[in-house]
Amino acid sequence: MSSLSTLTMRSSRLMLRRAGIQTAQRSFFQAAIARHNFRARPDVPFLSVPSSSTSTRVTRVRHMTTERRAQLKYEILTGIKYVGYIWIAGFAIFGISFAYFCERNERDYPTTEEWSFMTRFRMRMANIALYDPKHGNAVDWIQVGHWIDTVIKRLHDPEFEGAGLKDAPDGPKGTKDITSKSEEWRRAYFDAMMFWAKAAEHMEGWVWDTANGGTFPPGTMIGPSNPYPKPVPPGFRKAPREEDCILRHENPNEIYLKILNTVGFTDRQKIDAGLAYGSWLEYKGIAGPASIIYEDALNLALKQVKDTTPVPPLDPKTMTLNEEAGLPSENLLNTLTAYADFRARQGDINFALPVYISLLKARRSLPQPSDLDLTSQLRKQKPASHLQSKGFWSGVYNACAKVFIPPPYPEGPGEGIDPPVRNAAERCQEAALSLHIGEIMYATSPDAREEGLSWTREAVDVAEEQLHRINPGLREMKPVRRVCRDCLVTGLENWGKMVARLAREEQQRKEEEEEEQMVAVKGKKKGWFGGLWGEQVPVRQEVRDRWSAEEKVIEERQRRVKDFVEDLRQPDRGWLSFLKA
């Protein structure tokens, strides 16, 4: 039975095979077409086989692989890391540069440690804007006024440096009583207030546009009180409207009154403020109040020395110094000199000349700076000088201490009651007095012109000598150097004008003599051919006298001192100057 079944199955298979050959072939062909047109396998990019045939089929490539993802992650993290390093390095460089900037400026313009950092920083910036303008340009008083104005506001603010201040009983609104503060704080406050007054003098009349912002010079705002406004200077915005403008700074008159009525200032400080106030009033053409301010300062200086000597220091009639009273005080010399200058500028020559002569005689009799005075000055300038000793490590320590130890706030100039010593500053004042005396004598008396010229020569010699001796690198000597430089420039100018005038008069006198000689010769008989063999007419020659020679001496002196009277320092172009042409 089993064999029969097996045979039957084999037979059936054979019959089907023979009968379905054609059908099987068609089915295989159709299946191939179906496989070609409708693929049963999924078309996944990473399963496709690359082919070099020119088929129209587009090969898809997988871009975001596991290795690519890891590489991008590494690159992003590395970029963030390096950017962080760059920012950290940038902040570190900026911090070091800012610290060096503050330390260098603190040594150039010391501030008191009793103020906060921001107040000290703004005070230093005000000094930099005034004394070290960028690239040698003119002083930007808008910037100077901005910095010093913020300093004064912080000094008067009870939340900052103004804690403990009270309102003074007299003076304009805002006058303070600073007796609760230390002596160093009061000196720093006085310097800031005088700085503020100086900035207000230069910014008088300037307005602030509250609508659009910006500071504008006087006369440029548009409004009923200014029907013909001036054109706005280049670099400024459009002209402001009057209803939007307020004064940028207080009136200098009010600031000086605040200083004079501040409770806590010394007589020396009030005298200095009074002289500055009188100078400003004189500049504004207010001669009467200026004379009163000068006289008040002089009386305050006399009050200081009234009890020290039984003899009056001044002659009440001529206002000249009394030699029997001894050496005058520093305040008396300064106030009397300023008052004599004021009277001379007002045309009162008869008053100024004897006062100048008595002042010059008194200054020449001042004591010379002794070795003890020089030693005390060096100790004041170098408080750590006792550390200077021989030895390598001592020198290293002193160098490090000089770099890292902050400089102390400089001491004050004193009360001014004692007579000064005859140092470089006093010698420059002597030169200025000689210059004034020579100018007055030359202008008032024709017979005293040569004597006035000799006074002027002496002033030029003294000013040039002191200008050579003064060290320009010392900050405290800059005002003295400025006085000597101005005296030298003015002396050379006056000397040149005096000699030129004398030379013209001498030349005119010689020409008149030659004309008289020529008139006398005209009446005499001439020879043949126009007098070739007859009497000769004198030839006009250039006058060679001492005034012409002295003019050449003045020109040579002017060329020689040109480097001293001009600031030839190359302006700072910045740390990127090597990139500039």
pTM, two decimal places: 0.76
Task: Look at residue 511 in the predicted model and tell me its pLDDT.
Answer: 76
CA distance 575 to 581: 14
Kindly indicate the confidence band of residue 31, based on its pLDDT and cuts at 50, 70 and 90.
low
pLDDT in tens, 209-245: 888 888 888 888 888 888 888 888 887 878 888 888 8
pLDDT in tens, 535-575: 444 444 444 467 778 888 888 888 887 776 665 454 555 54
Rg (CA), the chain: 46
- Across the chain, mean pLDDT equals 78
549, 557, 448, 443: which is closest to 500 by C-alpha? 549
Residue 325 corresponds to which tokens in the numbers above? 């009273």
Contact 233, 283 (CB under 8 A): no
pLDDT in tens, 47-97: 555 555 544 555 566 677 888 888 889 999 999 999 999 999 999 999 988
Task: Look at residue 375 in the predicted model and tell me its pLDDT.
Answer: 40
Residue 245 corresponds to which tokens in the numbers above? 């403008």
437, 443, 501, 434: which is closest to 463 by C-alpha? 434
Rounded mean pLDDT of 355-369? Answer: 90
CA distance 243 to 248: 14
Rounded mean pLDDT of 158-170? Answer: 88
Least confident range from 367-371, 390-394, 432-436: namely: 390-394
DSSP state of 173: T
268, 269, 352: which is closest to 305 by C-alpha? 268
Contact 164, 91 (CB under 8 A): no
Least confident range from 37-46, 156-165, 307-316, 502-511: namely: 37-46
> For residue 38, is pLDDT > 50?
no
Percent pLDDT > 70 in the chain is 72
Task: Look at residue 62 in the predicted model and tell me its pLDDT.
Answer: 65
List Cα–Cα distances, 225 to 211, 216, 218, 517, in angstroms: 19, 16, 12, 69
325, 185, 190, 195: which is closest to 268 by C-alpha? 190
Query: Which of the pair, 86 or 16, is modelled with greater confidence?
Result: 86
